[in-house]
């Protein structure tokens, strides 16, 4: 088996799975869960070439509950490992959150990309630790680009955004 030396960190709520504000507590116990459109298709395409991980500020769910929620929508097969507040003890955008993940992965920041819907926490937080990021702005038309970040409005645009950072589709 080939050891993957590059990683995509995905935020969880409103990046891979839809948050429903009317539901409280761990997502796995919600009466209805749903993926963001095209999440499964995109993860399936990226999975052979990238280590796909979750990096979430979720406080109501622990790693086991997050894994179970991902399994409910058939995304669990693509995501490993899972990093969350209850595991790390810090939240995004703190450098401690991202530095802990980098230490655990053993992969340099230049080989990691963060994808998330919160520009401050996911994008700028990752950038402060040297991690490039993709802002997933599904809810608006605003586009922000810079040396360390890109914007997408549809998850299907993620492979192209990764290429702008110099990552080829083949490992």
Terminal-to-terminal C-alpha distance of the chain: 13
Q: Please compute, for residue 156, the number of CA atoms within 13 A of its CA located in the half-sphere on the CB side.
A: 3
Identify the CATH class of 7-164: alpha beta
pLDDT at 168: 80
**For residue 93, how many other CB atoms are within 10 A of its CB?**
20
| Residue 154 scores a pLDDT above 60 | yes
| Residue 3 scores a pLDDT above 60 | no
pTM of the complete model:
0.95
**For residue 143, how many other CB atoms are within 10 A of its CB?**
11
pLDDT-derived band of residue 1, with 50, 70 and 90 as boundaries?
very low
Q: Which of 40-44, 59-63, 121-125 bottoms out in mean pLDDT, i.e. has the lowest?
A: 59-63
Mean of all residue pLDDT scores within the chain:
95
Give the mean pLDDT of 27-38. Answer: 98
**Domain residue ranges of the chain, discontinuous segments joined by +:** 7-164
Nearest to 152 by CA among 167, 141, 163, 166: 141
Give the mean pLDDT of 49-63. Answer: 95
Q: pLDDT of 104-142, one tens digit each?
A: 999 999 999 999 999 999 999 999 999 999 999 999 999
- String of DSSP letters for 150-161: EEESSGGGHHHH
Instruction: Compute the CA torsion angle 59, 104, 70, 129 (nearest 10 deg).
Output: 70
């Amino acid at each position: 088996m080939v050891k993957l030396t590059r990683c995509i960190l995905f935020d969880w709520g409103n990046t891979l799975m839809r948050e429903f504000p009317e539901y409280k507590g761990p997502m796995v116990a919600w009466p209805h869960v749903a993926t963001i459109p095209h999440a499964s298709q995109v993860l399936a395409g990226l999975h052979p070439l990238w280590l796909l991980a979750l990096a979430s500020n979720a406080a109501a769910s622990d790693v086991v509950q997050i894994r179970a929620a991902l399994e409910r929508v058939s995304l669990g097969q693509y995501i490993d490992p899972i990093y969350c507040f209850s595991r790390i003890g810090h939240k995004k955008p703190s450098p401690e959150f991202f530095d802990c993940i980098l230490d655990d992965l053993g992969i340099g920041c230049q080989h990691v990309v963060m994808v998330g819907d919160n520009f401050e926490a996911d994008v700028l937080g990752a950038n402060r630790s040297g991690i490039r990021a993709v802002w997933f702005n599904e809810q608006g038309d605003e586009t922000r680009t810079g040396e360390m970040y890109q914007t997408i409005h549809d998850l299907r645009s993620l492979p192209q955004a990764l290429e702008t950072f110099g990552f080829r589709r083949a490992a």
